Structure 1
Amino acid sequence: MEKVSYYTEEGLQRLKGELTQLKSEGRAKVAEQLSEARDKGDLSENAEYDAAKEAQEILERRIAKLEELMINARVINKDNINTSAVSILSKVKIKNKKLGKVSTYTMVSEEEADLKEGKISIESPIGKGLLGKKAGEVAIVEAPAGKIEFEILDISF
């Protein structure tokens, strides 16, 4: 059994939407590709058929993964979150002590992470380093380039 994953309501709805789309449109598209490839004759030397079968396998693996995520998914109740320390759904303003760069990130589940949107995973090195820290504290994050110190300037929701 997979571990429980926590999501925002929006994040969980996005995953459910993807699952629905893959089960309907995705499967229909792959079935059409398989049918077209079969119509071309000998399957033993049919590259289109092989490609369609591979696409089907990838699609079915993604569907299975999403279904498993749904079973173990929990929506986060913001009322139950400790607002004094960094936790999932926290909006954290941090300062890289070496570079002086200030950034703001929202802490989210791994599946919701999107750096372009300012969302980092609680499973990422930075996320793990920030979890549980309070405003004013310094988080030391082990990164491939070495240790990085981040000062937590503010925590909000």
Structure 2
Amino acid sequence: MSTLKVVGGAKLDEALAQILAKHKKGLAVGILEGSTYPGGESTATVAFLDEYGSESSPPRPFMRITADTKSDMWTKALAVRLKAGDDMDSALRNVGELAVATMKGVIASGVGPANAESTIKRKGHGQTLRDTKHMMNSIAYEVVDTDEKGAKA
């Protein structure tokens, strides 16, 4: 029986990338295709405008903040699940749940800059990215099939 010992963040990332490529699996986390507000507006479009800003509002990069600050935790969680004997799909679903909770937590903690006074007056509160909570509640994950290079198939 052979064992795999990986030490250090970059080595762990590389080893897991190889495992994912071998299994041709990946994980998509965020606002998934097809999510809409009750009026039909694309939730992904609203999230994009929040993430990168628009003419009328500054960027509030909740997805980039989450990925930059929490992806190491997800990588380690995947390694733990695989080492514990989970199959790839089960391990990815477990990490997907963690990633969704983490991204929602980033939004709930508040992503600056603060809302303008006029926005606070209109909404009745100063919480950024949480006017109706629809976008936050639309964050989801999907285990995806990938090609040998890791791109969604």
Same structural fold, with TM-score higher than 0.5 when normalized by the shorter chain:
no
Q: State the structure with more CA Rg.
A: 1
Decide which structure has greater helix share.
Answer: 2
Structure 2 length normalisation: TM-score?
0.28
Structure 1 length normalisation: TM-score?
0.28
Which is bigger in relative contact order (C-alpha 8 A, separation at least 6)? Answer: 2
Decide which structure has greater strand share.
Answer: 1
